[in-house]
Amino acid sequence: MAMLQFFIAVDVTVVNVALPSIGADFGVDGHALTWVVVGYTITGGGLLMLGGRLGDVLGRRRILLLGTTLFGAASLLAGLAPSFAVLVTARLLQGAGEAIALPAAMAVIVLVFPEGPRRSRALSVWAAVASCGLVLGFVVSGIITELLGWRWIFLVSVPFILVVLAAVVFLVPSERPAESTPLDLPGSLLLIAAPLLFTLGVVEAGEADGTLPWLPPTALVGAVAAGALFIRVERRSHDPLVPLQFFRNRPRVLANLVTVLLSAALSTSFLLFTYYLQDRWGADPLQAGLTMLPLAVSLIMASVLVPRLLGRWGARACVLAGIAFTVLAMAAIVLVSHLEATGPAMIPAMVLIAAGMGFGIVGLQYVAVTGVTDDDAGIASGVQRAADQLGGSTGITLYVGIGFAPALDGVDPFLVSGFLAVAGLAAAGCVTWRIPLRAAVTEETLG
């Protein structure tokens, strides 16, 4: 499960350093290349809850095999893509494969390890692998792009996906599918449409030429309409994508809201690191990737400490610490940009981001799956993953999109992006204080 998580996480960030090479090969500009990154995360995040529901209804082992196969085949297609359109299609299919496989994989872990210290340690390993995959995606991208070419950033995962498929067949026990129930496909499509339209509106609004002035407001209105229609569909559906009783669990709902806000800032920081190292400092892909290594090492160190602190301090303290570290990291990024320092000056900010991710995301994951049963483990895992992924894509769209918009030419983009991220983190801190955790966490950690 951790190996699958690692390569899926790698594919979230592995394209960032390679984007200039992809654009040069296919003759497309940076505006079009945005969809190679955001299309994957939005499609994956939008379908995650459907993936969780599929696992609950059809069986986790079966869905795990289906999603992993789709992800591996899409990776092969991306590496062999003859055109930019095929590459974008492959990225969308990768997101769909992730959405089907990951909730089932996390549900297997949650159900195998009982609540308490054992689950805390298991989720810490799971989160650490995901975090290292996200960061090592930058490193791997730089090394492979420099030495082998950008196509191999996708092809390298294919043999490992085959290992995962074999392991699932032999190690994950089969289970009897639940009674057949209709799936909420309209809700899933609306959940994808809303963030895609939002991304289109924000990106187009930032263009200085304004060749299609009607497109940004139309897309933004469409995003709001899709979101409102999603809520209406869920209320009227006999078998909704997200059962309404899920929202009665206040700790889970608030934890997922904080996950959105924290992930938005964390994903923003990754792109800011890349932009600074390559555009401001002038590093090549290999240099940029290697400079990110301290971030991966710090993530591993943080993941070792989190399980102990989660049991001693409780989830709220860990989440607040993660938010505070991320705020300090954003401030450090803005300071380094203002001083126009060398690339290694970003290393303290990278260490702080690692601490923010290690403490914050693990604590939030623990709260988000507290009290799950065999009936709702998949949907709880899917909602948590969707909040993480859609939050990250929203942060890139909103914070980075506004900060680096051509319409704001002359304003420091790092300052604007950092300010927006800190504002979101302040809101996350306020929400965290309102999560009723004491009774649930104390009972679990004592177990």
pTM of the model: 0.80
143 neighbors 311 (Cβ within 8 angstroms)? no
Residue 353 CB contacts under 8 Å (≥ 6 apart), including other chains: 266, 269, 295, 325, 326, 329
Residue 441 inside a domain? The answer is yes
**Quick one: pLDDT at residue 24?**
84
To which H or E segment does residue 128 belong?
helix 117-147
**Cβ contact 99:46 at 8 Å:** yes
Q: Is residue 197 part of a domain?
A: no
Let me know if residue 345 belongs to a domain. Answer: yes
Question: How many domains does one find in the chain?
Answer: 1
Our CA angle for 344, 19, 101, nearest 5°, is 100
Residue-wise DSSP of 190-258: HHHHHHHHHHHHHHHHT-SS-SSTTHHHHHHHHHHHHHHHHHHHHHH-SS-SS-GGGGG-HHHHHHHHH
User: Per the domain annotation, does 144 fall within a domain?
Assistant: yes
Residue 357 lies in a domain: yes
Supply the pLDDT for residue 440: 41
Establish if 212 belongs to a structural domain: no
- Residue 137: count of CB within 10 angstroms of its CB: 27
Q: Give the 3-state DSSP-derived string for 174-208, with helices as H, strands as E and coil as C.
A: CCCCCCCCCCCHHHHHHHHHHHHHHHHHHHHHCCC
Where b means 16+ CB within 10 Å and e means fewer, 101-118 reads bbbbbbbbbbbebebebe
Domain of 342 in residue numbering reads as 2-183+241-446
pLDDT of residue 211: 63
pLDDT 10s digit of each residue in the chain, 447 long? Answer: 888 888 888 887 788 778 778 888 998 866 567 778 878 888 888 887 788 778 877 888 889 999 999 999 999 999 999 999 899 899 989 999 988 898 888 878 877 777 778 877 887 788 778 777 877 787 788 888 888 889 999 999 999 999 999 988 888 877 766 556 667 788 888 888 888 888 888 877 766 566 677 888 899 999 999 999 988 888 888 778 777 777 778 888 899 999 999 999 998 998 899 889 877 888 888 888 888 888 878 877 887 777 777 777 788 888 999 999 999 999 999 999 999 899 899 999 999 998 998 889 888 888 887 776 666 666 777 788 788 888 988 888 889 888 887 777 778 889 999 999 999 999 999 999 888 765 444 334 333
Q: Is residue 384 part of a domain?
A: yes
Kindly state whether residue 205 falls inside one of the protein's structural domains: no
Query: What integer pLDDT is reported at residue 278 of this predicted model?
Result: 79
CATH number at residue 358: 1.20.1250.20
Structure tokens at 75: 């990776």
Q: Which two tokens stand for residue 23?
A: 């654009």
